[in-house]
Structure 1
Amino acid sequence: MTTHDPIPARLAALKTATTPELKAQWRELFDSEPPPFNRRYLESRLAYRIQELTYGGLKPETVRRLEWLGEDLDGGDRTKSRIRADTMPIAGTRLIREWQGVEHVVTVTADGFDWQGRPYRSLSAIARAITGTRWNGLVFFGLKRQRGRG
């Protein structure tokens, strides 16, 4: 008797699913609202989650190894390690924000952000350049809710 593995079909279906369908799957599989990232990000995280729930997650020793590699990569910088990878969009993502009637497009790069042809290390620096005031860049670009606001 052969058993049919439905997982490859579920993964293939992610490619043809509508964005609202992907978001509905996100709510079901993660029990949270989907992040405001691009479709490719949603597809890849959903594909991983589907497999993780079916076949199991990473082994504890693999998680420890990844944490060690991450610490080695960020030099033990606690501020960098506190930034969760799933709160930052992947390289190539375009963030669009309208401010006082002007549309601003920021492209996420491998080592930061690009706005108006200039590299920036943080979204907060770009938000300040746009507005002239201090902003949390994640809040300004809609990647994070402002504290105290639902």
Structure 2
Amino acid sequence: MTDTNPIPARLAALKTMSGAELKKQWRALFDTEPPLFNRRYIETRLGYRIQELTHGGLKPETVRRLQDLGEQLDGGNIATRRIRTDLKPIIGTRLIREWQGTEHCVTVTRDGFEWQGRPYKSLSAIARTITGTRWNGWVFFGLKHHRRAA
């Protein structure tokens, strides 16, 4: 018996397509311009879309349930929603940074961060308070490397 399901072959083909071919496929399947995300994101979304068009998408009640869970998780705050939870350190993690001879300790909390007993929504706000200048908090605390111009 031969497998006549074209889905696995179409999914495997995504890995070997050029960037231009992926963008063309995106336009054909979504009828929009492709986003400016990395290749892996585009491949996974295309893979899902191919299967969705063949087998159908999520049931409306499943979509509603996921939206409800998302609201419970982030309280409807769009800024929080945009922060990928797998990038945020585990609750209770202590971030330590020395600045001008003073050691600063930030604790990751459920709702954000705490520094000197005061809650903050972002690391950038803490870095700004410490330095008096605008900083990317993730860079300041060493969680993300700042890309320097060549």
Other-structure match for 1:34: 34
Q: How does 1:28-107 map to 2 (within 5 A)?
A: 28-77=28-77, 80=78
Tell me: CA distance 1:10–1:22, structure 2 relative to 1, closer, same or farther (3 Å): same
User: Aligned-pair RMSD on alpha carbons?
Assistant: 3.6
Q: What residue in structure 1 maps to residue 101 of structure 2?
A: none
Letter in 1 for 2:22: L
TM-score (norm 2): 0.53
SS at the partner of 2:49?
Answer: helix
| TM value normalised by structure 1 | 0.53
* Aligned partners of 1:26 and 1:46 also within 8 Å: yes
- Tell me how far apart the structure 2 counterparts of residues 29 and 55 of structure 1 sit (CA, whole Å): 14
Counterpart amino acid of residue 47 in structure 2? A
Q: CA deviation at 1:76?
A: 2.8
Amino acid across the alignment from 1:26: W
What CA deviation, in whole Å up to 9, does each residue of 1:68-123 have, x standing for no partner?
A: 1110111133xx18x9x8xx79799xxxxxxxxxxxxxxxxxxx899x87417xxx
Q: Distance in 2 between matches of 1:41 and 1:89?
A: 16
The answer to which structure, 1 or 2, has the higher relative contact order (CA under 8 A, 6+ apart) is 1
Identity, % of aligned positions: 62
Gaps of 5+ in 2: 87-121, 125-134, 140-150
Contact between 1:22 and 1:42, CA under 8 Å: does it hold in 2? yes
- CA deviation string 1:116-144 (max 9, x = no partner): 87417xxxxxxxxxxxxxxxxxxxxxxxx
What is the CA distance between 1:42 and its match in structure 2? 0.4
- Structure 1 unmatched ranges of 5 or more: 93-111, 121-150
